[in-house]
Amino acid sequence: MVHHANWPEEYRWRVSRLHKLLGEEGFLRASLCEVKRRCGYPNCRCTRGELHRSLYLCHSQKARSRMKYVPAAEERRVREWVARYKEARQLLDEIAQFYWERLGGGKE
């Protein structure tokens, strides 16, 4: 087991935060897309400009874009999962950069 006590505080904080994120429930590698549209009923409010709002998860998989509807009741949880994935990804990139710089020497 590697002890990081002598490593920079900002590195230790990132590793600690990543461990905390990984212990929480839910990750989604996707973006949230809000779609506004008209339903087609002649007397609906959308004909006066108040469009209907729907939320979708947008995700690329095997070079294909996919969209999945997010029910209003699930919106808060789904937003948390997407945000958690983005934060974890950012932390991983920063930790990897730390190791890249730690190698030192050599040409890039």
- The answer as to whether 61 is a domain residue is yes
- The answer as to whether 106 is a domain residue is no
Number of domains the chain contains: 1
Rounded to whole angstroms, the Cα distance separating 81 from 72 reads 15
Each residue's pLDDT tens digit, 47-103: 888 898 999 999 988 889 999 999 999 999 999 999 999 999 999 999 888 888 888
- The answer as to whether 2 is a domain residue is no
User: Residue 16 has what pLDDT?
Assistant: 87
- The answer as to whether 108 is a domain residue is no
- Secondary structure letter of residue 3 according to DSSP: -
Each residue's pLDDT tens digit, 1-43: 556 667 788 888 888 888 888 888 888 899 999 999 888 888 8
Question: Please, what is the Cα angle at 81 between 7 and 51, to 5 degrees?
Answer: 140
Q: Which residues form the domain of 32?
A: 9-101
Question: What pTM, to 2 d.p., does this model score?
Answer: 0.74
Rounded to whole angstroms, the Cα distance separating 37 from 55 reads 12
